[in-house]
């Protein structure tokens, strides 16, 4: 065992963990804001809108995230048109490419989770809202969105954990997040167990905090659903 090497490179791990958190939270925050309206469109009465969103979620849930990331990072760069366009300064940055891939992917999964939650709201809650004379917007804001989110919580919690772990793919396009740091140490010091165990411990700690926070959220906002069981 060679833990001295890990101790020497602890600073790198701190940098890596910061980047992991930045990637996970930025992509989750953006994809959450996109997924809520998309969930409504996914259940829209207009078939064209419904199928457009379905097409998008099908493509991004039907292909591996790594493939999506490579297509965006390496694939787009192959086209002269893209390289000479005004968006190239953005697309040439690995951080931007990674965020685009993560957001597109996570939005697809979150949209389906929320859309499922929306479909499972008891009709009585919606009828009650209508009986109160709420406008469509007030219904969405005060009844549908809260009910949809609370019902989606357990599934969405899983999606958050999956996204946190998926950030390890960023290391394939030169970003030195937690996994990237572990791989770099492996390549420079020829040890594998210690760097990856350290990386695993970091992910585990982050997941633990995330799960605990989630339980708190669930207890606070979705508590009223609990009573129905048993």
Partner 1 sequence: MKTSLKSLCAAMILAATFGAARAADKIDIATDATFPPFESIDSNGKLIGYDVELMEAVCAAAKLDCNIFNAAWDGMIPGLIDGKYDALISQLTVTEKRRQVIAFSDIYDHPIFRFVAKKGSSFEFTPEGLKGKTIAVQTGTPMDAYVTSHIPGAVIKRYDTGSAPYLELTAGRADLHMSYQAQIIHSFLKSEAGKDYELVGPEYTGKDAKEFGEGVAIAINKKNTKLVEEVNKGLAIIRENGQLKALNAKYFGE
**Chain positions contacting partner 1, by CB under 8 A:** 74, 77-78, 83, 92, 172, 174, 183-184, 186-188, 190-192
C-alpha–C-alpha distance, residues 26 and 146, integer Å: 22
What is the C-alpha end-to-end distance of the chain, expressed in Å? 51
Q: How far is the CB of 9 from partner 1 (least distance, A)?
A: 14
Q: Is 193 exposed, middle or buried (0-12, 13-18, 19+ CB in 10 A)?
A: exposed
Q: How far is the CB of 81 from partner 1 (least distance, A)?
A: 13
Structure tokens at 102: 């993560």
Instruction: Quickly count helices (H) and strands (E) in the chain.
Output: 13, 0
- Compare residues 20 and 31 and give the one whose CB is closer to partner 1: 20
- Compare residues 4 and 55 and give the one whose CB is closer to partner 1: 4
Instruction: Write the DSSP string, 151-200.
Output: HHHHHHHHHHHHHHHHGGGGGGGT--SHHHHHHHHHHHH---HHHHHHHH
H, E, C per residue of 192-205: CHHHHHHHHHHHHH
Q: How far is the CB of 183 from partner 1 (least distance, A)?
A: 6
Residues in the chain: 230
- Compare residues 59 and 77 and give the one whose CB is closer to partner 1: 77
Q: How far is the CB of 83 from partner 1 (least distance, A)?
A: 6
- Compare residues 45 and 84 and give the one whose CB is closer to partner 1: 84
- Compare residues 18 and 83 and give the one whose CB is closer to partner 1: 83
CB atoms within 10 A of CB 80: 7
- Compare residues 92 and 218 and give the one whose CB is closer to partner 1: 92
Q: How far is the CB of 20 from partner 1 (least distance, A)?
A: 18
Q: How far is the CB of 67 from partner 1 (least distance, A)?
A: 15
C-alpha–C-alpha distance, residues 10 and 54, integer Å: 44
């Amino acid at each position: 065992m060679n833990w001295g090497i890990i101790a020497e490179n602890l600073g790198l791990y701190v940098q890596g963990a910061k980047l992991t958190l930045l990637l996970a939270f930025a992509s989750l925050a953006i994809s959450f804001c996109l997924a809520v309206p998309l969930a409504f469109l996914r259940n829209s009465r207009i078939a064209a809108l419904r199928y457009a969103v379905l097409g998008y979620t099908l493509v991004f849930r039907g292909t591996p995230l790594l493939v999506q990331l490579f297509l965006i990072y390496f694939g787009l760069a192959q086209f002269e048109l893209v390289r000479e366009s005004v968006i190239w300064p953005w697309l040439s940055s690995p951080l931007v490419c990674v965020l685009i891939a993560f957001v597109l992917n996570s939005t697809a999964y979150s949209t389906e989770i929320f859309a499922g939650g929306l479909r499972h709201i008891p009709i009585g809650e919606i009828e009650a809202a209508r009986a109160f004379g709420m406008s469509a917007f007030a219904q969405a804001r005060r009844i549908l969105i809260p009910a949809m989110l609370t019902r989606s919580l357990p599934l969405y919690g899983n999606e958050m954990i999956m996204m946190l772990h998926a950030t390890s793919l960023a290391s394939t396009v030169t970003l030195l997040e937690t996994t990237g740091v572990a791989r770099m140490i492996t390549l420079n010091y020829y040890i594998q167990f210690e760097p990856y165990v350290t990386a695993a411990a970091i992910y585990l700690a982050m997941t633990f905090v995330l799960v605990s926070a989630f339980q708190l959220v669930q207890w606070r906002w979705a508590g009223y659903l609990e009573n129905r069981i048993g």
